[in-house]
Amino acid sequence: MGIIRTENLTYIYGEGTPFRHVAVDCVNVDIDEGEIVGIIGHTGSGKSTLIQHFNGLLKPTSGKVFIDGEELFADKSRLKEIRFKVGLVFQYPEHQLFEETVYKDIAFGPKNMGLSDDETDRRVKETAKMVGLGAELLEKSPFELSGGQKRRAAIAGVMAMEPKVLILDEPTAGLDPRGRDRILGMIKEYHAEKGTTVLLVSHSMEDVAKTVSKILVMNDSKVFMYGDRSSVFAKAEQLTEMGLTVPQVTRVFDRLRAMGIGFDDEVFSIDYAKDLVMRLLKEKRGESVD
Amino acid sequence: MGNFIEIKDVTFSYVNDYDDPPTKNTVIRGVSLEISKGEFVAVLGHNGSGKSTLAKMLNAINLPETGEVIVDGMKTSDEARLYDIRKTVGMVFQNPDNQIVATVVEEDVAFALENIGVPPAEIRERVDNALKTVGMYDYREHAPHKLSGGQKQRIAIAGVLAMQPECIVMDEPTAMLDPIGRREIMNTIKQLNAAGVTIVLITHYMDEAAEAGRVIVMDDGRVIADDTPKKVFSKAEMLKAVGLDVPNVTELTHRLIDEGLDLPDDIISEDECVERLYELLKKG
Query: For B187-236, what is each residue's pLDDT tens digit?
Result: 889 999 999 999 999 999 998 999 999 999 999 999 999 999 999 999 99
State the pairing for strand pair A197-201/A36-40: parallel
Closest residue in A to B204 (Cα) is A176
pLDDT at B1: 43
CB contact under 8 A, B151 and A43: yes
Query: For B113-127, what is each residue's pLDDT tens digit?
Result: 998 899 999 999 999
Residue length of chain B: 284
Q: Does A179 touch chain B (CB under 8 A)?
A: yes
DSSP 8-state symbol, A213: S
Predicted ipTM of the assembly: 0.79
Phi first, then psi, for residue A8 (nearest 5°) are 45, 45
Closest residue in A to B45 (Cα) is A176
- pLDDT tens per residue across all 290 residues of chain A: 799 999 999 999 988 888 899 999 999 999 999 999 999 988 778 998 999 999 999 999 999 999 999 999 999 899 999 999 999 999 889 888 889 999 999 999 999 999 999 999 999 999 999 999 999 999 999 988 888 889 999 999 999 999 999 999 999 988 888 888 999 999 999 999 999 999 999 888 888 988 999 999 999 999 999 999 989 988 888 988 888 878 889 999 999 999 999 898 888 889 999 999 999 999 888 765 54
CB atoms closer than 10 angstroms to residue A255: 18
Q: Of the candidates B45, B178, B281, which has its C-beta nearest A281's C-beta?
A: B281
Q: How far apart are CA A142 and CA A103, in angstroms?
A: 9
Q: CB–CB of A19/B146 below 8 Å? A: yes
DSSP 8-state symbol, B174: T
Q: How far apart are CA B78 and CA A63, in angstroms?
A: 63
CB contact under 8 A, A277 and B46: no
CB contact under 8 A, B207 and A147: no
Radius of gyration of chain A (CA): 21
CB contact under 8 A, A252 and B249: yes
What angle is formed at CA A120 by the lines to CA A119 and CA A121, rounded to 5 degrees? 90
Q: CB–CB of B49/B221 below 8 Å? A: yes
Closest residue in A to B173 (Cα) is A174
Q: Of the candidates A44, A177, A247, which has its C-beta nearest B243's C-beta?
A: A177
Distance from CA of A162 to the nearest CA of B (A): 28
Q: Does A135 touch chain B (CB under 8 A)?
A: no
Q: Does A252 touch chain B (CB under 8 A)?
A: yes
Q: How far apart are CA A153 and CA A103, in angstroms?
A: 9
Strands (E), A107-179: 165-169
Chain A residues closer than 8 Å to B150 by CB:
43
Q: How far apart are CA B21 and CA B210, in angstroms?
A: 44
CB contact under 8 A, B148 and A44: yes
Q: How far apart are CA B13 and CA A161, in angstroms?
A: 39
Mean per-residue pLDDT for B255-274?
A: 93
Closest Cα partner for B1 from B30, B39, B36, B40?
B36
Closest residue in A to B239 (Cα) is A177
Q: Of the candidates A19, A173, A206, which has its C-beta nearest B248's C-beta?
A: A206
Assess whether the previous peptide bond of A177 is cis (omega < 30° from 0): no
pTM of the model: 0.83
Q: CB–CB of A29/A191 below 8 Å? A: no
Q: Which residues contact B31 (CB under 8 A, 6 or more apart)?
A: B7, B9, B10, B11, B50, B54, B67, B218, B221, B222, B223
Radius of gyration of chain B (CA): 21
CB contact under 8 A, A270 and B256: no
Residue A17: C-alpha distances to residues A12, A20, A21, B163 (Å): 11, 6, 9, 35
Strands (E), A14-84: 21-27, 30-31, 36-40, 62-67, 70-71
Query: For B131-160, what is each residue's pLDDT tens digit?
Result: 998 889 999 999 998 887 778 888 999 999
Chain B residues closer than 8 Å to A258 by CB:
none
Pairs of residues, one from chain A and one from chain B, whose beta carbons lie less than 8 Å apart: 117
DSSP A163-183: -SEEEEESTTTT--HHHHHHH
Chain A residues closer than 8 Å to B259 by CB:
274, 278
Residues 57-96 of A with CB under 8 A from B: 91-92
Domain coordinates in residue numbering, chain B: 5-229
Closest Cα partner for B247 from A270, A128, A18?
A270
pLDDT at A287: 65
Domain coordinates in residue numbering, chain A: 247-290
CB atoms closer than 10 angstroms to residue B231: 14
Q: CB–CB of B158/B92 below 8 Å? A: no
Strands (E), chain A: 4-13, 21-27, 30-31, 36-40, 62-67, 70-71, 86-89, 165-169, 197-201, 214-219, 222-228
CB contact under 8 A, A247 and B248: yes
What residues form DSSP beta bridges with B269? Answer: none
What residues form DSSP beta bridges with B216? Answer: B43, B226
Phi first, then psi, for residue B162 (nearest 5°) are -60, -25
DSSP 8-state symbol, B102: -
Closest Cα partner for A160 from A196, A119, A127, A207?
A127
**Homologous superfamily of B5-229:** P-loop containing nucleotide triphosphate hydrolases (3.40.50.300)
Query: For B159-183, what is each residue's pLDDT tens digit?
Result: 999 999 999 999 999 887 777 778 8
CB contact under 8 A, B278 and A256: yes
Residue B42: C-alpha distances to residues B5, B30, B91, B135, B232 (Å): 15, 19, 14, 23, 11
Q: CB–CB of A134/A156 below 8 Å? A: no
Cα A154 to chain center, whole Å?
15
Distance from CA of A274 to the nearest CA of B (A): 6
Distance from CA of B72 to the nearest CA of A (A): 31
Q: How far apart are CA A175 and CA A183, in angstroms?
A: 9
Q: How far apart are CA A267 and CA B199, in angstroms?
A: 35
pLDDT at B284: 54
Q: How far apart are CA B196 and CA A287, in angstroms?
A: 54
Chain A residues closer than 8 Å to B279 by CB:
none
Query: For B45-82, what is each residue's pLDDT tens digit?
Result: 988 899 999 999 999 999 999 999 999 999 999 999 99
What does the CA dihedral A141, A143, A149, A151 come to, rounded to 10 degrees?
Answer: 120
The amino acid present at B123, given as its one-letter code, is: I
Sign of the alpha-carbon dihedral angle for A113, A119, A121, A125 = negative
Distance from CA of A145 to the nearest CA of B (A): 11
Q: CB–CB of B277/B252 below 8 Å? A: no
Distance from CA of B258 to the nearest CA of A (A): 10
